[in-house]
Amino acid sequence: MIDTARSADDTPIVFERRGAGPVVVVVAGAGNDRHGDEPLVAELMAEFSVVTYDRRGRGGSGDTAPYAVEREIEDLAAVVAALGEPAIVHGISSGGALALLAAAAGVPMARLSVFEPPYRGETEEVPEGYADEMRELVAADRWDDAVALFMMSAVGSPEEVVTEAKASPVWAELRSFAPTLVYDAFVMKDSKVPGELASIAAPVLVVNSNGSTDWLKTAALVTAKVVPGARQVGLDGEFHSVPPERLAPELGAFYRDPR
Protein backbone atom coordinates (compact mmCIF):
# COMPACT_ATOMS: atom_id res chain seq x y z
CA MET A 1 0.00 0.00 0.00
CA ILE A 2 1.39 3.39 -1.04
CA ASP A 3 0.15 6.46 0.82
CA THR A 4 1.16 10.05 1.56
CA ALA A 5 1.67 11.78 4.89
CA ARG A 6 1.71 15.56 5.25
CA SER A 7 4.61 16.95 7.23
CA ALA A 8 4.27 19.94 9.56
CA ASP A 9 5.14 22.34 6.71
CA ASP A 10 2.63 20.53 4.43
CA THR A 11 5.35 18.77 2.41
CA PRO A 12 4.00 15.46 1.01
CA ILE A 13 5.99 12.43 2.19
CA VAL A 14 5.31 9.24 0.24
CA PHE A 15 5.45 5.97 2.16
CA GLU A 16 4.79 2.32 1.37
CA ARG A 17 3.58 -0.37 3.77
CA ARG A 18 4.07 -4.07 3.12
CA GLY A 19 3.66 -7.25 5.14
CA ALA A 20 1.78 -7.94 8.36
CA GLY A 21 2.64 -7.77 12.04
CA PRO A 22 4.22 -5.11 14.24
CA VAL A 23 5.16 -1.99 12.26
CA VAL A 24 8.81 -1.27 11.42
CA VAL A 25 9.59 2.07 9.74
CA VAL A 26 12.86 2.06 7.78
CA VAL A 27 14.78 5.34 7.47
CA ALA A 28 17.09 5.24 4.44
CA GLY A 29 20.63 6.56 4.42
CA ALA A 30 22.36 8.81 1.90
CA GLY A 31 21.89 7.97 -1.76
CA ASN A 32 18.74 5.90 -1.28
CA ASP A 33 15.00 6.33 -1.58
CA ARG A 34 12.32 4.00 -0.19
CA HIS A 35 13.43 1.22 -2.57
CA GLY A 36 17.08 1.22 -1.52
CA ASP A 37 16.93 -1.47 1.15
CA GLU A 38 14.69 -4.06 -0.53
CA PRO A 39 16.71 -7.18 0.50
CA LEU A 40 16.39 -6.25 4.19
CA VAL A 41 12.72 -5.30 3.76
CA ALA A 42 12.03 -8.70 2.20
CA GLU A 43 13.60 -10.47 5.18
CA LEU A 44 11.72 -8.39 7.76
CA MET A 45 8.38 -8.83 5.98
CA ALA A 46 8.30 -12.47 7.07
CA GLU A 47 7.31 -11.24 10.53
CA PHE A 48 6.71 -7.49 10.41
CA SER A 49 4.71 -4.85 8.58
CA VAL A 50 7.51 -2.84 6.99
CA VAL A 51 7.10 0.82 6.08
CA THR A 52 9.60 2.53 3.80
CA TYR A 53 9.35 6.19 2.83
CA ASP A 54 10.95 8.66 0.47
CA ARG A 55 12.85 11.12 2.57
CA ARG A 56 12.37 14.79 1.70
CA GLY A 57 13.61 15.55 -1.82
CA ARG A 58 13.68 11.89 -2.89
CA GLY A 59 11.38 9.74 -5.00
CA GLY A 60 7.78 10.89 -4.82
CA SER A 61 8.14 13.13 -1.76
CA GLY A 62 8.19 16.91 -1.84
CA ASP A 63 11.07 19.22 -1.04
CA THR A 64 9.83 22.47 0.46
CA ALA A 65 12.56 25.09 0.94
CA PRO A 66 14.42 26.06 3.00
CA TYR A 67 15.87 22.76 4.20
CA ALA A 68 16.45 22.13 7.91
CA VAL A 69 17.12 18.90 9.79
CA GLU A 70 14.10 19.73 11.95
CA ARG A 71 11.90 19.38 8.86
CA GLU A 72 13.18 15.84 8.29
CA ILE A 73 12.42 14.99 11.91
CA GLU A 74 8.90 16.30 11.33
CA ASP A 75 8.66 14.16 8.18
CA LEU A 76 9.38 10.99 10.15
CA ALA A 77 6.93 12.09 12.84
CA ALA A 78 4.26 12.56 10.16
CA VAL A 79 4.82 9.07 8.76
CA VAL A 80 4.65 7.52 12.24
CA ALA A 81 1.48 9.47 13.05
CA ALA A 82 -0.16 8.43 9.75
CA LEU A 83 0.27 4.76 10.67
CA GLY A 84 -1.99 5.19 13.69
CA GLU A 85 -0.20 2.59 15.82
CA PRO A 86 3.07 2.19 17.74
CA ALA A 87 6.03 1.88 15.42
CA ILE A 88 9.49 0.42 15.66
CA VAL A 89 12.07 2.44 13.70
CA HIS A 90 15.20 1.19 11.93
CA GLY A 91 17.67 3.76 10.61
CA ILE A 92 20.52 2.99 8.22
CA SER A 93 23.81 4.95 8.18
CA SER A 94 22.99 8.69 8.15
CA GLY A 95 19.32 7.62 8.27
CA GLY A 96 20.21 6.08 11.61
CA ALA A 97 21.64 9.40 12.76
CA LEU A 98 18.39 11.09 11.67
CA ALA A 99 16.31 8.48 13.53
CA LEU A 100 18.37 9.02 16.69
CA LEU A 101 17.83 12.79 16.48
CA ALA A 102 14.11 12.18 15.97
CA ALA A 103 13.94 9.94 19.03
CA ALA A 104 15.77 12.57 21.08
CA ALA A 105 13.27 15.17 19.81
CA GLY A 106 10.36 13.11 21.10
CA VAL A 107 9.10 11.33 17.97
CA PRO A 108 7.27 8.30 19.46
CA MET A 109 9.03 4.99 18.86
CA ALA A 110 8.36 1.64 20.50
CA ARG A 111 11.95 0.65 19.78
CA LEU A 112 14.81 1.98 17.67
CA SER A 113 17.58 0.12 15.88
CA VAL A 114 20.33 1.83 13.90
CA PHE A 115 22.98 0.42 11.59
CA GLU A 116 26.33 2.20 11.63
CA PRO A 117 25.43 5.88 12.08
CA PRO A 118 28.63 7.39 10.61
CA TYR A 119 29.83 9.48 13.52
CA ARG A 120 33.53 10.29 13.72
CA GLY A 121 35.94 10.39 16.62
CA GLU A 122 38.43 13.12 17.43
CA THR A 123 41.05 11.60 15.09
CA GLU A 124 38.61 10.88 12.23
CA GLU A 125 36.97 14.11 11.15
CA VAL A 126 35.00 15.20 8.12
CA PRO A 127 36.76 18.26 6.63
CA GLU A 128 35.59 21.58 8.05
CA GLY A 129 33.08 23.25 5.76
CA TYR A 130 32.10 19.98 4.07
CA ALA A 131 28.34 20.62 4.24
CA ASP A 132 28.69 24.17 2.88
CA GLU A 133 30.95 22.97 0.06
CA MET A 134 28.42 20.27 -0.84
CA ARG A 135 25.65 22.87 -0.97
CA GLU A 136 27.74 25.15 -3.21
CA LEU A 137 28.56 22.32 -5.64
CA VAL A 138 24.91 21.32 -5.96
CA ALA A 139 23.82 24.95 -6.40
CA ALA A 140 26.36 25.25 -9.23
CA ASP A 141 24.97 22.05 -10.86
CA ARG A 142 28.29 20.28 -10.24
CA TRP A 143 26.57 17.10 -9.16
CA ASP A 144 29.40 14.76 -10.18
CA ASP A 145 31.81 16.75 -8.04
CA ALA A 146 29.32 16.68 -5.15
CA VAL A 147 29.05 12.90 -5.27
CA ALA A 148 32.84 12.57 -5.47
CA LEU A 149 33.25 14.86 -2.45
CA PHE A 150 30.67 12.81 -0.53
CA MET A 151 32.47 9.56 -1.30
CA MET A 152 35.91 10.84 -0.35
CA SER A 153 35.10 13.12 2.60
CA ALA A 154 32.06 11.47 4.20
CA VAL A 155 32.50 7.81 3.26
CA GLY A 156 36.30 7.82 3.23
CA SER A 157 36.68 6.23 -0.20
CA PRO A 158 40.09 6.64 -1.88
CA GLU A 159 40.25 8.53 -5.17
CA GLU A 160 40.71 5.37 -7.23
CA VAL A 161 37.43 3.96 -5.87
CA VAL A 162 35.65 7.15 -6.90
CA THR A 163 37.18 6.89 -10.38
CA GLU A 164 35.92 3.30 -10.68
CA ALA A 165 32.45 4.34 -9.47
CA LYS A 166 32.26 7.08 -12.09
CA ALA A 167 32.80 4.46 -14.79
CA SER A 168 30.14 2.12 -13.41
CA PRO A 169 26.38 1.99 -14.13
CA VAL A 170 25.60 2.95 -10.51
CA TRP A 171 27.08 6.45 -10.93
CA ALA A 172 24.00 7.87 -12.67
CA GLU A 173 21.81 6.82 -9.75
CA LEU A 174 24.25 8.23 -7.19
CA ARG A 175 24.37 11.47 -9.15
CA SER A 176 20.58 11.77 -9.05
CA PHE A 177 20.74 11.90 -5.25
CA ALA A 178 23.32 14.72 -5.16
CA PRO A 179 20.92 17.41 -3.84
CA THR A 180 19.89 15.28 -0.88
CA LEU A 181 23.49 14.36 -0.06
CA VAL A 182 23.62 17.94 1.18
CA TYR A 183 20.76 17.15 3.56
CA ASP A 184 22.61 14.16 4.99
CA ALA A 185 25.65 16.38 5.49
CA PHE A 186 23.57 18.68 7.68
CA VAL A 187 22.04 15.70 9.54
CA MET A 188 25.57 14.63 10.47
CA LYS A 189 26.63 18.20 11.45
CA ASP A 190 30.24 17.91 12.70
CA SER A 191 29.92 14.10 12.67
CA LYS A 192 30.34 13.87 16.44
CA VAL A 193 27.79 11.90 18.49
CA PRO A 194 25.26 14.55 19.64
CA GLY A 195 24.90 14.97 23.38
CA GLU A 196 21.10 15.22 23.06
CA LEU A 197 20.98 11.49 22.33
CA ALA A 198 21.34 11.03 26.10
CA SER A 199 17.66 12.02 26.38
CA ILE A 200 16.38 9.06 24.33
CA ALA A 201 13.96 6.95 26.36
CA ALA A 202 13.13 4.21 23.82
CA PRO A 203 15.10 0.94 23.85
CA VAL A 204 17.93 1.25 21.29
CA LEU A 205 20.07 -1.30 19.45
CA VAL A 206 23.20 -0.16 17.62
CA VAL A 207 24.54 -2.59 15.01
CA ASN A 208 27.84 -2.52 13.15
CA SER A 209 29.60 -4.77 10.67
CA ASN A 210 32.75 -6.49 11.87
CA GLY A 211 34.09 -5.92 8.36
CA SER A 212 33.78 -2.14 8.54
CA THR A 213 36.60 0.29 9.17
CA ASP A 214 37.67 0.97 12.74
CA TRP A 215 36.03 4.40 12.86
CA LEU A 216 32.60 2.95 12.06
CA LYS A 217 33.02 0.27 14.73
CA THR A 218 34.07 2.94 17.23
CA ALA A 219 31.08 5.06 16.22
CA ALA A 220 28.73 2.21 17.12
CA LEU A 221 30.38 1.77 20.52
CA VAL A 222 30.32 5.49 21.32
CA THR A 223 26.71 5.86 20.18
CA ALA A 224 25.65 3.01 22.45
CA LYS A 225 27.46 4.62 25.38
CA VAL A 226 25.71 7.96 24.91
CA VAL A 227 22.18 6.53 24.58
CA PRO A 228 20.95 5.33 28.00
CA GLY A 229 20.63 1.55 28.17
CA ALA A 230 21.47 1.05 24.49
CA ARG A 231 22.79 -2.31 23.32
CA GLN A 232 25.55 -2.70 20.73
CA VAL A 233 26.32 -5.73 18.60
CA GLY A 234 28.81 -6.45 15.83
CA LEU A 235 27.84 -8.87 13.05
CA ASP A 236 29.98 -10.49 10.39
CA GLY A 237 29.81 -8.57 7.14
CA GLU A 238 31.69 -6.31 4.77
CA PHE A 239 32.40 -2.57 4.82
CA HIS A 240 29.23 -0.74 5.95
CA SER A 241 27.16 -3.81 5.13
CA VAL A 242 25.79 -6.97 6.76
CA PRO A 243 23.91 -9.60 4.72
CA PRO A 244 20.17 -9.09 5.29
CA GLU A 245 19.68 -12.76 6.18
CA ARG A 246 22.10 -12.18 9.08
CA LEU A 247 20.92 -8.71 10.08
CA ALA A 248 17.15 -9.33 10.02
CA PRO A 249 17.14 -12.09 12.69
CA GLU A 250 19.20 -9.87 15.02
CA LEU A 251 16.76 -7.01 14.52
CA GLY A 252 13.76 -9.31 14.93
CA ALA A 253 15.06 -10.64 18.24
CA PHE A 254 15.48 -7.08 19.51
CA TYR A 255 12.02 -6.04 18.30
CA ARG A 256 10.41 -9.00 20.06
CA ASP A 257 12.31 -8.47 23.32
CA PRO A 258 9.74 -7.59 26.02
CA ARG A 259 12.30 -5.75 28.17
pLDDT digits (tens, 9 = 90+) for 119-144: 986 656 677 788 899 999 999 999 99
Per-residue pLDDT, averaged over 41-64, amounts to: 98
Both 47 and 12 in a single domain?
Answer: yes
pLDDT at 124: 64
Please tell me whether residues 196 and 180 are part of one structural domain. Answer: no
Q: Are residues 47 and 160 in the same domain?
A: no
Q: What is d(CA 154, CA 191) in angstroms, rounded to the nearest whole number?
A: 9
- pLDDT beyond 90 at 249: yes
Q: Can you give the residue range of the structural domain that contains 176?
A: 130-188
141 and 47, same domain (yes or no): no
Same domain for 43 and 150?
no
Do residues 53 and 4 touch, judged by C-beta distance below 8 A?
no
Assess whether 39 and 164 both reside in one domain: no
Pair (28, 134) in one structural domain: no
pLDDT score recorded for residue 154: 84
State pTM to two decimals: 0.95
- Mean pLDDT, to the nearest integer, of 2-28? 98
Average pLDDT over the chain reads: 94
* Helix H or strand E encompassing 25: strand 23-27
Q: Could you give the CA distance from residue 221 to residue 155 in angstroms, rounded to a whole number?
A: 18
Q: Which of 145, 170, 188 is the last residue of a domain?
A: 188
Query: Does one domain contain both 44 and 71?
Result: yes
Residues 184 and 95 in one domain: no
Residues 62 and 32 in one domain: yes
257 pLDDT above the threshold of 90: no
- Residue finishing a domain among 146, 166, 188: 188
The answer, yes or no, to whether residue 194 has pLDDT greater than 80, is: yes
Same domain, 53 and 153: no
Strand order across the beta sheet in which 49-53 lies: 2-6, 12-18, 49-53, 23-27, 87-92, 111-115, 204-209, 231-235
Look at the chain and report how many structural domains it folds into. Answer: 2
Percent of the chain topping pLDDT 70: 98
**Judgement on whether residues 173 and 243 belong to the same structural domain of the protein:** no
